[in-house]
Chains A and B, each alone.
Chain A
């Protein structure tokens, strides 16, 4: 099933079966874990669906917003949202949105990503209970 759409005068065709299935799986994992799915949805739409990045940046954000809003309301109705913890986390997150871009200008994005990759691997090994990890 292909979907045709227009973006700034250009016509694109996207395989919606891959898009829907991939989006669904990412959304289940991200709402189960409680993180945003951005880093996975963008590669899904660019690498797997073959869309150029300028089409994807805004539209992927919209798609993820659906997931976040639905999952948040679900958690809230299940009685699993600690409003106090949410407020504290939100203050930190919003402040980070102002601080982050200012620091970003002075750092090499490639090195940040390398450090992040190492950090994520370490955390993953810890979560997976791999022996001999301090």
Chain B
């Protein structure tokens, strides 16, 4: 009995500790390097108030909300007053407390950007009657935003920077550059990726202009669809300057503080006004995924899919992951990172049970296991480098392979063969159990 425990320790626990230890050493080394290279943070820079037209009453925008605390799915009634003759053209709504980590690989220059301070919810409402003015080498071109919006909405490869320029929405992109103190940058290369690294760390982005540009791209990476970040709305501005707009919060809105800013143009805008979103049980907020939802949904989904997984003889992850992405729109990195560890328990108990009856060949398992651990070292890195569409593509191909395997296992030839093999397997299991019993009796 004791010798078995030792065997366990030497062949499983010890190598794993070594592998994980080596990995965390590499990781801390990299972190140290980053810390020494990264520019010093300046927290003061993050709380700069918007410059509202130096106190002159004539160009002040007043802003009011109907409540202070909202729930996901509720409507925020925004009202206020702008100076006569002006119109509210944009309304920016940002969650300032709930932030998520977003990373992106730029395929043009192979730079990898990462920020942990991306707002979990971000939205700009654009007045649908607004006519955007674009400065093209001195001549100002006018274009209705509706036209621009529909053009980019139909384009799957839309670019947030160009969209904001063409609609003038960049004047309303105010809060994210203030929330984000730094964006980390790596220069990725194949040789660095092979040793499992994100690349050569470059100085972090701390310049506000650069942060603004990259923050927009990271927000696009996270939210993906244009209508999720921008919407056209009827912001009614009356003749006396009062305006009102109703904004419906999405059901999965993250909790805690938000700010709302009404924007007329680059110079004229309101002070940020605060509101709170309350998420109460059974709805819970998933902090890394950045979504709140009723916890029963994922629980029932996991139970149903994993039960089916047990029946078909494959883990639940194959079906669970695409469904989590399709139903809850979770980022693919978070889905993979959260579902993968769930099988650890069942695998560990399986290994323990098989080892008790001497049904594991350690030499074979560990040799292949080392190469599989190597693969498991690269996979998560690749996961960060691929886009959602590429992830879906790889997953689709894998699922087709799985379907082919499943189908093959129902062909008469396979069934015949597996019957014989199962009989042998049962015979061996019996022998193993008997041998173990005999050994124990001998000892006692």
**Interface positions of A (Cβ within 8 A of B):** 3, 5-8, 14, 16, 19-21, 23-41, 43, 45, 51-55, 57-86, 88-97, 99-101, 103-104, 107, 109-110, 112-114, 116-121, 123-129
Contact = CB atoms under 8 A, between A and B. Distances in A.
> Dominant SS at the B interface?
helix
B138 interface: no
Given A28-B382, A63-B372, A33 B341 contact: no
A29 B394 contact: yes
Interface string B147-165: 0000000000000000000
A33 B321 CA distance: 8
Interface majority SS (helix, strand, loop, mixed), chain A: helix
B189 interface: no
Interface in B326-376: 326, 330, 333-348, 350-351, 354-355, 358-376
Contacts of A92: 298-303, 305-306, 316, 342
Closest 10 pairs between A and B when the two form their complex, measured CB to CB: A27-B375, A92-B302, A31-B379, A34-B336, A100-B310, A35-B317, A75-B337, A62-B365, A96-B306, A80-B337
B317 A28 contact: no
Interface of B: 12, 16, 19-20, 23-24, 27, 101, 116, 284, 286-289, 295, 298-303, 305-322, 326, 330, 333-348, 350-351, 354-355, 358-384, 386, 389, 391-407, 409-410, 415, 418, 421-422, 424-425, 428-429, 431-432
Given A33-B317, A85-B334, A74 B339 contact: no
Contacts of B407: 113-114, 117
B314 to A, nearest CB: 4
A90 to B, nearest CB: 4
A128 B287 contact: no
Contacts of A14: 364
A23 B378 CA distance: 13
A33 B299 contact: no
Given A58-B351, A92-B299, A127-B392, A32 B380 contact: yes
Given A20-B368, A39-B402, A92-B306, A27 B374 contact: yes
Nearest to B289: A82
Contact of B307 (A25, A40, A83, A100): A100
Contacts of A6: 361
